[in-house]
Structure 1
Amino acid sequence: MPAGPGQSGREIAFDSGYSWFRLGLSILLTTLGGVGMWSVVVVLPMVQTEFAVARGAASFPYTLTMAGFALGGVMMGRLIDRFGIVRPVIGGTILFGTGYVLSGLAPNLWVFAICQGFMIGVGSSATFGPLLADVSMFFRARRGLAVALCASGNYVAGTIWPGVVQHFMTTAGWRATQIGIGLFCIVAMVPLALLLKPRPPSQVGAAGAVSAEGRLSALGLSPATLQWLLAAAGISCCVAMSMPQVHIVAYCVDLGYGVARGAEMLSLMLGLGIVSRIASGFVADRIGGVATLMIGSVMQAVALVLYVFSDGLTSLYVVSGVFGLFQGGIVPSYAIIVREYFPAREAGARVGVVLMATLVGMAFGGWLSGAIYDWTGSYAAAFLNGIAWNLVNIAVCAWLLLRGRRRPQAVPA
């Protein structure tokens, strides 16, 4: 009989009722913890005004937050491989909750930036990559769907939290809002994390390791080589992805449509990205992670090409929606691939490394697109640059697919 939410002593089956209950908890934790990635963008103008700094200096806390989130994901991933998910999530929650409280008391920009990067960024990373890796261990037949649903929590956070932060920032001020977020997250998330105590099914160890090693052997690659290839693909696809996500608002301003229209396109993009992530999970359960990543990458390239020929308001809304539908499933595919080709005991750290690569791609791509705009005076070349990086990602996916099909399969029945 499948174990219930509190039956940690019984054996838990794959795809059981408890597996879905745990997935629901993980989505909620991902949504709540996702505030760490989105709130700093909303408070940035108020922070700039209060500390009387230039826009570039005021953007530094965001950069540190992304760096902390990327590096923290690797560190937290190693911790869940060793201790399970509960301690890292509770520790990360307390860390980033405390960071919010201290950032609300910050006397200057640099203290605020340190709190954002080394506390909020690192702490909130425990609620994304590590939870994706953990959820993947409780599913077999529906693993792709489960990982995609869990990853959708980050996009849900991006849809919900900015409005919440803006409301309280307007009514209570940015400092009180930061403190309130920290206290709320600690009180709400620690009890939820305690419900994740049951361990994965015991079969995820031995049988899962043999299956993963068989698939990796069929590729004829060492674990390190495949890890580096996935990291390179992650950087490339997210350099391309960052062009519309980071610059769509500025692009609309340049075209004379204003900030509000650009913000609406970004919301449309993220909202349809949730649909894309869920759909990609269904697809991955049928054709595998690499093939799903290949489809998403090709479709993302198509959307970027459409951007090159779109400068009308209606066409930009349509293309932004299409882009959201095409790219949302790309990042979860990396976590699915890791679970397919690496043992479960290494999932946390390896998912963390690949997701760190995607964040590096987003950060580098956002800067590079802006730099290309400065050099050329137009976003046309920036879109072409994104397409070029996207082709690198497609090449890696195609090579892995062809290599897997040409070599004899070594996966045991």
Structure 2
Amino acid sequence: MQVEGSCLTQIAETDSRYSWFRLVVTMLVAIIANAGMWAIIVILPAVQAEFGTSRADASLPYTLNMIGFALGNFALGRALDRFGVTVSLILAALGIVGGLILAILSQSIAMLSFAQLLIGFASAVGFGPLIADISHWFVRRRGIAVALVASGNYLSGAIWPMVLAGVMQDSGWRAVYTVMAVVTFFGIIPLALLLRRQVSSETHASAHAASSLNAQSAGLSPRTLAILLGFAGICCCIAMSMPQVHIVALCVDLGFGPAVGAEMLSLMLLGGVGSRIVSGLLADRLGGVRTLLIGSTLQGLALFLYLPAGGLVSLYVVSLVFGLSQGGIVPSYALIVREYMPAKEAGARVGFVMMATIMGMALGGWVSGQIYDWTGSYQWAFINGIVWNGVNVAIMLWLLLRSRPRKPAIPVPAPQPA
């Protein structure tokens, strides 16, 4: 009777009307909280011009932003497990506003980079921690729920660059950060108060039982699997970072201007939203590992298409193709974590793997800038991304083959006495 009661509690709590309401609120928080990640890309050319630095040095604020974002996913994921999502969101919102104010006052690349480190750390609450939180509220539709929350990051990237590019053109990049500070404070805190409800211990116990069975089939400990997923995430996101981080700068180099680059970034990220939704639906049928392998393979093919592209129309088309190819990759990592690891560790485990993927974005964004400075073009930067993407595909293939259900051994009949 106790087991039956636990199952009924889980059915009542998960995939419910409240779960879908919570999903909508969570997506709104994610769209606001992730704005700082994309604003630094929009202002990159203006920062380079103001401070008179190289492209690699101008990329440092983005790199520090992504390092902070990576560390924040892990640290705030642990805070989520301990204090709940509401407290974590309110503290993070205050941190974002503080970092934005410091950035507005910056008079050097070093000071701006430090401010972006704080912004990135606090903004991370809108990614891994929110993904971990919403995963508790869905079972049958967990794939699409996680994909939609992860899409908040891309929706943020599709919306904010278009809005902020106009603000920057009229009033400069510091006005961009002023607008962001106001929206963050008056947007995130009220929404956070709507997320105070928590899942029951019975639901956690039921989820833990399911993940334990999956972990036994793979034959990997949670720590080993987390490290493997973290390395795979670094590989795929080094590849992913090249178009996402440098598309605006690439368009400026080709004479198309930053506004066109912002449009391509928005188009890329809108394609990523569609890709994440389709991948979420697919993951509910195929599971996280297969879905991630499909996305990583398509991303590698899309990166090849950037090599011959150089015209305006071709770059628009390839950017859309790239977005449609890679959007489902990162959410699939969170699904694998929930499928194979204990539910009560979801915040920390998802946060760790998200941290690794974002470290890959930070490293890839900086390396691409260095390759550009060394070679004078982005061709070799795209090739570098293709190589790292191949490593990710190989890891996912290995994990898929290892996780296949094995046939029971055929018993050998005992010898009969003569």
TM over 0.5: yes
> Residue 195 of structure 2 aligns to a residue in which SS?
coil
* 2:156 corresponding residue in structure 1: 157
* 2:356 corresponding residue in structure 1: 357
Is the contact made by 1:339 and 1:347 (CA closer than 8 Å) also made in structure 2? Answer: yes
> Residue 195 of structure 1 aligns to a residue in which SS?
helix
Partners of 2:166 and 2:401 lie apart in 1 by: 51
Partners of 2:109 and 2:180 lie apart in 1 by: 19
> Residue 317 of structure 2 aligns to a residue in which SS?
helix
* 1:99 corresponding residue in structure 2: 99
CA RMSD of aligned residues (A): 2.6
* 2:69 corresponding residue in structure 1: 69
* 2:21 corresponding residue in structure 1: 21
The CA deviation at 1:43 is 3.7
> Residue 205 of structure 1 aligns to a residue in which SS?
helix
Partners of 1:375 and 1:111 lie apart in 2 by: 26
* 1:60 corresponding residue in structure 2: 60
**Structure-2 change in CA distance of 1:205 and 1:325 (3 Å):** same
Between 371-380 and 85-94, the greater mean CA deviation after superposition = 371-380
Of all paired residues, the percent bearing the same amino acid is: 55
Partners of 2:367 and 2:173 lie apart in 1 by: 30
Partners of 2:177 and 2:248 lie apart in 1 by: 25
Is the contact made by 2:292 and 2:396 (CA closer than 8 Å) also made in structure 1? Answer: yes
Does 2:400 correspond to 1:404? no
Is the contact made by 1:12 and 1:200 (CA closer than 8 Å) also made in structure 2? Answer: no
Give deviations 1:159-191, integer Å, cap 9, x for gaps.
222233334445555445434422331122111
* 2:323 corresponding residue in structure 1: 324
Amino acid at match of 2:113: A
Partners of 1:55 and 1:380 lie apart in 2 by: 16
What is the number of residues matched between the two proteins? 399
> Residue 139 of structure 1 aligns to a residue in which SS?
coil
Is the contact made by 2:23 and 2:134 (CA closer than 8 Å) also made in structure 1? Answer: yes
Partners of 1:309 and 1:215 lie apart in 2 by: 43
Is the contact made by 1:296 and 1:330 (CA closer than 8 Å) also made in structure 2? Answer: yes
Is the contact made by 2:289 and 2:396 (CA closer than 8 Å) also made in structure 1? Answer: yes
The CA deviation at 1:41 is 3.0
Partners of 1:58 and 1:68 lie apart in 2 by: 17
Partners of 1:340 and 1:315 lie apart in 2 by: 39
Partners of 1:176 and 1:318 lie apart in 2 by: 32
* 2:216 corresponding residue in structure 1: 217
Residues 13-412 of structure 1: pairs in structure 2 closer than 5 A: 13-47=13-47, 56-106=56-106, 109-118=109-118, 120-252=119-251, 259-407=258-406
**Structure-2 change in CA distance of 1:211 and 1:391 (3 Å):** same
Is the contact made by 2:15 and 2:137 (CA closer than 8 Å) also made in structure 1? Answer: yes
Give deviations 1:368-389, integer Å, cap 9, x for gaps.
3344445455544433332221
Unmatched 5+ residue regions in structure 2?
1-9, 409-418
Is the contact made by 1:101 and 1:183 (CA closer than 8 Å) also made in structure 2? Answer: no
Between 303-312 and 316-325, the greater mean CA deviation after superposition = 303-312
The CA deviation at 1:318 is 2.4
**Structure-2 change in CA distance of 1:374 and 1:50 (3 Å):** closer
Is the contact made by 1:11 and 1:201 (CA closer than 8 Å) also made in structure 2? Answer: no
The CA deviation at 1:393 is 0.8
The CA deviation at 1:95 is 1.2
Is the contact made by 1:296 and 1:326 (CA closer than 8 Å) also made in structure 2? Answer: yes
Is the contact made by 2:289 and 2:332 (CA closer than 8 Å) also made in structure 1? Answer: yes
Partners of 2:171 and 2:376 lie apart in 1 by: 40
Amino acid at match of 2:94: I
Give deviations 1:325-382, integer Å, cap 9, x for gaps.
1101111111111111111111111111111111111122223334444545554443
The CA deviation at 1:196 is 0.5
> Residue 404 of structure 2 aligns to a residue in which SS?
helix
Partners of 2:255 and 2:47 lie apart in 1 by: 27
**Structure-2 change in CA distance of 1:171 and 1:18 (3 Å):** same
Which structure's CA Rg is the greater one? 2
**Structure-2 change in CA distance of 1:280 and 1:122 (3 Å):** same
* 1:6 corresponding residue in structure 2: none
Is the contact made by 2:165 and 2:259 (CA closer than 8 Å) also made in structure 1? Answer: no
Partners of 1:258 and 1:171 lie apart in 2 by: 15
Is the contact made by 2:39 and 2:160 (CA closer than 8 Å) also made in structure 1? Answer: yes
**Structure-2 change in CA distance of 1:407 and 1:315 (3 Å):** same
Per the normalisation by structure 1, the TM-score is 0.88
Partners of 1:49 and 1:305 lie apart in 2 by: 31
Partners of 1:152 and 1:57 lie apart in 2 by: 30
Unmatched 5+ residue regions in structure 1?
1-9
Amino acid at match of 1:126: V
Partners of 1:49 and 1:321 lie apart in 2 by: 29
* 1:4 corresponding residue in structure 2: none
Is the contact made by 1:219 and 1:407 (CA closer than 8 Å) also made in structure 2? Answer: no
Is the contact made by 2:81 and 2:346 (CA closer than 8 Å) also made in structure 1? Answer: yes
